[in-house]
Chain A
């Protein structure tokens, strides 16, 4: 009897963790896919899935910060291409790889900071500022590249995409590192607390002495930095600088964050949630492909999942009210 009571307590504790629903959904989904096709959990497939998901996964980390702060960043796909083309051009021009990557990451983050300034100082809604940013940066990418692929990158770039350490793809490690950074910053730093406070109530945050401008800039710079990191991964995977890369990725990143339990009204969301959201969406796509399901049907499923995730959340909220 006693052990049953203990189990109950453990279950209650588990269900209080905000991400408990997602963990259950993920477990059920993975189990179902594995039963339908035992290749799904094979080492080769799991590591493939990690590699395919890394790029969206990294974008979603930055997007989580923006969405928690009550904003949205539609420019990440374009910033991804920008950093990719910039780094490629620098490398082709003879810059050492580390310098090219460093410059591309910093330049990308600066685009984000600039958008933060426009959003805060200019009081332009984030949706509009980053929508404009998305189009402007994409245009810039086309100008820089002449709408052509940038070829002739050093072989080590392409190698990175296929490299594995301890059997796990190098690209997945990059994703893991961004997860740890994102989780740490959101949970243990003043910047992280400020981000939640701004998303919860920007006026209360201001009246509590939080410097709104610098924090908003930091948040969008962080998102753009993550987009630039994703741009580096993209460059490695494609082996070239591709100016059309990352188109539509902003929506996949937003989807991952929302399925991960974040609220577009701000203040609610977490890095673990986003990681689970990313994995759930990726599993549907990957598992569906393994099972030979029509990819259009997979699109319908993922779209449905996004809506259901939010619907479910609303229902739960109304219940507790």
Chain B
């Protein structure tokens, strides 16, 4: 066994200086073939920078990279690809309007003597490559028609087909449902057994224990430790990363619940969800659990008026309401924090100040003229209250970290005096430290008598934080579970549609 493991990539004393920050300082790391190597650390620890240097996206300031013992100079992504290095990024990058097979051969379409495309050959080869990894996808299907999970599998199959010897996975499970994660892990293990060196970056520590062989911890651009996974614990990793233990992670203070603020009766929308019922009280945090694509987001969007309902009743603060647009919902005190902050929650090119006031301009203006003083006061108030880390309120939101961006969205709704907050996957792509900040924020919202709905696919999180969980499976209401009855297996069963 030992013989088959050999040093494939060796990065030695890598340093990377950016104009204002030392992103990496003297980091050395080895990736062996037939081994899955996890890299963990908070955002800003240098994980992405390290990978980007290996992929030829950035040049190292100093340090040496060896591949199979030979010193290499990875000056650009083409070099890195020709060396057999490849990366699967969080946001899948393939051409959605082309078929799976076309994506496989992108830039290298097989042609016959007349210069025409060899379609039959293309589909045959692509299908074989998919089958080899047991990926149940038809090579003829358009990529955009596939669920995100399968799109990711297709990317992996493509990289494998390109004969990559080192495969780097950057947060591959961020967008996947549990079912798909299991599929993905199976494929990654197969790649490992076929002799690839795997680099695995994740925020979800329990994945490391399920999948990886070795783990390296980075902190503030410095190497902290490299350990065999079998000889460490989640607690140890977290304390190495941040100096905090896991019990602190997924827990918040719970509060006494007040009157009912939101009730939903028999909510239905053709092809999306049917007969959804739930209640939300003052001071309560309600979890919404289901696999991706189960209709959780669609239900919330409909309640918020972003999409139209077919039938059903929404009762806010005891009165039946007809919500036809986000404007209606906002005026009833509902704030919605969409799953994708960047594409739905923020105007990135605008300042922190403008984003915080975005929903409130009608209150702080007179005849369309903005009260600039009030605008500034609002921004300062919520930047301080939420401890948004920013050089100033005029900073573009674009330049803020994920956690701070999320806080700005919360600030927008606090500024609007919202009292019902709907969070859709609030901690996706956010590091451990920022996560606890978000949970603390929930606690403060609840303490002030607000009500919170949190959609999450991540069980430790949703079970740790919420008072009650509503489970949805394929658009159907499966039941509501109280905190005292939380059981991981039971919840998973319900989410898979087994009662």
Contacts and interface: CB of A to CB of B under 8 A. Distances in A.
B347 A197 contact: yes
Contacts of A211: 327
A287 B227 CA distance: 70
B368 A190 contact: yes
Contacts of A204: 338, 343-347, 358
Contacts of B368: 189-191
A190 B306 contact: no
A321 to B, nearest CB: 10
Contacts of A188: 369-370, 372
B359 interface: yes
Contact of B347 (A189, A191, A201): A201
B349 A200 contact: yes
B362 A190 contact: yes
A242 interface: no
Contact of B344 (A190, A193, A207, A209): A207
Given A267-B349, A268-B349, A208 B358 contact: yes
Contacts of A189: 365, 368-370
A49 B286 CA distance: 66
A138 to B, nearest CB: 33
B369 A209 contact: no
A188 B362 CA distance: 13
A13 to B, nearest CB: 13
A201 B346 contact: yes
Contacts of B343: 201, 203-204
Nearest to B347: A200
State which size class the interface on A falls in: 20 to 34
B346 A190 contact: no
Looking at B331, B347, B370, the one whose CB has the most chain A CB atoms below 10 A away is B347
A145 to B, nearest CB: 37
Interface residues of B, number: 29
A245 B479 CA distance: 69
B354 A193 contact: yes
B338 A207 contact: yes
Nearest to A211: B327
Contacts of A201: 343-344, 346-348
A2 to B, nearest CB: 25
Given A188-B372, A203-B343, A208 B350 contact: no
A199 B347 CA distance: 9
Given A207-B304, A207-B336, A210-B358, A196 B369 contact: no
Given A190-B365, A203-B344, A204-B346, A197 B354 contact: yes
Interface string A203-240: 11111111100000000000000000000000000000
Contacts of B185: none
Given A188-B369, A190-B368, A193-B370, A207 B306 contact: yes
21 contacts: A188-B372, A189-B369, A193-B354, A193-B370, A196-B354, A197-B347, A197-B350, A197-B358, A199-B349, A201-B344, A204-B338, A207-B304, A207-B306, A207-B326, A207-B345, A208-B326, A208-B412, A209-B359, A209-B416, A211-B327, A267-B349
Given A207-B344, A208-B359, A209-B331, 5 more contacts: A190-B369, A204-B347, A207-B306, A209-B327, A209-B359
Interface of A: 188-191, 193-194, 196-197, 199-201, 203-211, 267-268
Interface of B: 304, 306, 326-327, 330-331, 336, 338, 343-350, 354, 357-359, 361-362, 365, 368-370, 372, 412, 416
